[in-house]
Amino acid sequence: MEILRKMMELQHERGYLDERALRALARELRVPLYRLEGLVSFYPAFRRTPPPKHIVHVCRDVVCCMGRNQQADQTLDQLTGDSDIEVAEVSCLGRCDSAPALVINEEPIAPFSLAEPLPTSESEGILGFLENPHHSSWDADKSKSWKCDPDNNPDLYATVHALAPSPAKLKETCIRELTDSQLRGMGGAGFPTGRKWDLVAAESAKQKYVICNADESEPGTFKDREILAQLPHLIIEGMVLAGLTIGADTGIVYLRHEYTRERRAVEMAIGRAKELGVLGQNAAGSGQPFDIEVFVSPGGYILGEETALLEALEDKRGEPRNKPPYPGTHGLWGKPTLINNVETFAMATAIVHHGATWWHDQGQDGFSGLKFVSISGDVERPGVFEVPMGTTVTQLIDTAGGMHAGKRLKAFLPGGASSNFLSAEYADTPMDFKAMSDAGSMMGTGALIVMAGDRDLFALATNLVKFFRNESCGKCVPCRVGSEKAVDILQAAASGTGSTGAMAMLPELGETLEQTSICGLGQVALNPILSMLKHFPGELPQCTSI
**Domain 54-135 has what CATH class?**
alpha beta
Q: Which of 104-113, 228-237, 449-458 has the lowest mean pLDDT?
A: 104-113
**DSSP string for residues in 396-453:** HHHHTTSBGGGPPEEEEETTSTTSPPEEGGGTT-BSSHHHHHHHTS--TTTEEEEEET
Could you tell me what percent of the chain has a pLDDT over 70?
94
Mean of per-residue pLDDT scores for the chain: 92
Tell me the CATH number for domain 457-539: 1.20.1440.230
Tell me the CATH number for domain 362-452: 3.10.20.600
Task: Fill in the amino acid letter for 241.
Answer: L
- The answer to whether 445 and 218 have CB atoms below 8 angstroms apart is yes
Tell me: cis bond preceding 100? Omega within 30 of 0 counts.
Answer: yes
Among 461, 449, 422, 485, residue whose Cα is nearest residue 540: 461
Phi and psi, residue 231, nearest 5°? -130, 45
**DSSP string for residues in 281-318:** TTGGGSSS-BEEEEEE----GGGGSHHHHHHHHTTS--
User: Residue 74's pLDDT band (boundaries 50, 70, 90)?
Assistant: confident
- Which pLDDT belongs to residue 6? 96
The CATH number corresponding to 158-358 among 3.40.470.10, 1.10.10.10, 3.40.50.11540, 3.40.50.1000 equals 3.40.50.11540
Separation between Cα atoms, residue 75 and residue 322, nearest integer Å: 45
Per residue in 151-167, pLDDT (tens digit) is 666 557 999 999 999 99
pTM, two decimals, is 0.94
Phi and psi, residue 26, nearest 5°? -60, -40
Separation between Cα atoms, residue 448 and residue 221, nearest integer Å: 8
Q: Where do the structural domains in the chain lie, given as residue ranges? A: 2-42, 54-135, 158-358, 362-452, 457-539
- Please give the DSSP secondary-structure letter assigned to residue 137: G
Q: What is the spatial order of strands in the sheet that 422-423 belongs to? A: 383-388, 370-377, 447-452, 409-413, 422-423
DSSP H or E segment with residue 85: strand 85-90
Separation between Cα atoms, residue 537 and residue 468, nearest integer Å: 22
**Average of pLDDT values for 422-444?**
95
Please enumerate in sequence order all residues whose Cβ is within 8 A of that of 480, keeping only pairs 6 or more positions apart, or say none: 472, 474
Instruction: Evaluate if residue 523 carries a pLDDT over 50.
Output: yes
Per residue in 246-285, pLDDT (tens digit) is 999 999 999 999 999 999 999 999 999 999 999 999 999 9
Per residue in 221-245, pLDDT (tens digit) is 999 999 999 999 999 999 999 999 9
Phi and psi, residue 371, nearest 5°? -145, 130
User: Residue 111's pLDDT band (boundaries 50, 70, 90)?
Assistant: confident
User: Residue 123's pLDDT band (boundaries 50, 70, 90)?
Assistant: very low
- Which pLDDT belongs to residue 154? 57
- The answer to whether 353 and 234 have CB atoms below 8 angstroms apart is no
- Which pLDDT belongs to residue 78? 82
- Which pLDDT belongs to residue 122? 42
C-beta atoms surrounding 90 within 10 Å = 17
DSSP H or E segment with residue 210: strand 209-214
Phi and psi, residue 485, nearest 5°? -65, -40
User: Residue 137's pLDDT band (boundaries 50, 70, 90)?
Assistant: very low
Separation between Cα atoms, residue 1 and residue 14, nearest integer Å: 20
- Which pLDDT belongs to residue 142? 60
